[in-house]
Amino acid sequence: MGNIDLEHLRTWIGKSCSDEDLIAARHARLMAATVDYPDAARIRDGECLPPLWHWIYFLEGLPARELGRDGHPARGGFLPPVPLANRMWAGGRLSFLAPVRIGSTVRKESSIRDVAHKTGRSGDLVFVTVLHELKSAQGELLIREEHDIVYKETNAAGKPPAAPPPATLAQFGRTWTPTTTTLFRYSALTFNGHRIHYDADYCREAEAYPNLVIHGPLNATLLAGVAEEVSGRRLRDFRYRGLAPALLGDSVTLQANVRGELVALHATLGNGTVCMQAEATLS
């Protein structure tokens, strides 16, 4: 495992923090504009926040001196100081237990659940699993989320091997092509300073991506929205996993197949590569 001291990193398990935020309608309306939400009139106080839009709240704003080279918070605070160059939002699992109401005040409690080492094609990988629980002012649990963060060695030059396309034809498909404006707006909405989303030189020179990287959480949010759209029902559970980076210039097709209480979802690039797969359970 090279210089990875897993025993030390695992001492972060159980570390916790909490935050509170107003689920403001203004911020939600900015998100609606960013993703071209089809029912913008619904974004008002008292309405249910669309799935995964809670990611635009509870934002951490550290001063520049407390940021790492990649623009993220420096390691060794809430998250363990994993000594691998790149970190990515790998996937997660969510249960929607009660609506998050626009205009309400919500508390978020987070804790480190696990730190694990694996070896992949690119070398060492460290997975950190974080539990987030969103609760109402009265203490009702609204969302339970497990978020997987992966740390890895510097990418080899060029694109990684392509993930194969879905085995079955999709019942629903919609294609979108993010622009630099899309990436800027979503980074601003989430106060995400990760340089892979706006600094092309950093992408190429430090992380070996040929172009800016489209946010994985943005693709996950759009897939969750598609699941609600095609089923006409709210989600009870949502599971997603990133398989390959989507880069600026790629078109992304959001695909869905409804199978009873389940919706199988894929985000597929123009060359057929699946960059994200997900599954939703309907309420």
Nearest to 172 by CA among 127, 231, 215: 231
Q: Determine the pLDDT at residue 154.
A: 76
**CA-based end-to-end distance of the chain:** 43
Q: What is the pLDDT of residue 170?
A: 83
- Quote the pLDDT of residue 65: 84
The Cα 191–Cα 57 span in angstroms is: 9
The answer on pLDDT for 2 being more than 70 is no
Q: What's residue 160's pLDDT?
A: 54
pLDDT for the residue numbered 165: 66
Q: Rounded to two decimals, what is the model's pTM? A: 0.92
- pLDDT (tens digit per residue) in 168-220: 678 899 999 999 999 999 999 999 999 999 999 999 998 889 999 999 999 99
- The pLDDT value recorded for residue 119 is 85
Domains of the chain and CATH, by start: 6-282 (3.10.129.10)
At 158, the pLDDT band (50, 70, 90 cuts) reads very low
What's 4's DSSP letter? -
pLDDT cut 90: percent of the chain above it? 75
> If you search the block for the tokens 């998250």, which residue do you land on?
79
Q: What is the pLDDT of residue 88?
A: 87
Which region, left, alpha or beta, applies to residue 116 given φ > 0 means left and ψ of -120 to 50 means alpha? Answer: beta
Check residues 165 and 61 and name the one with the higher pLDDT: 61
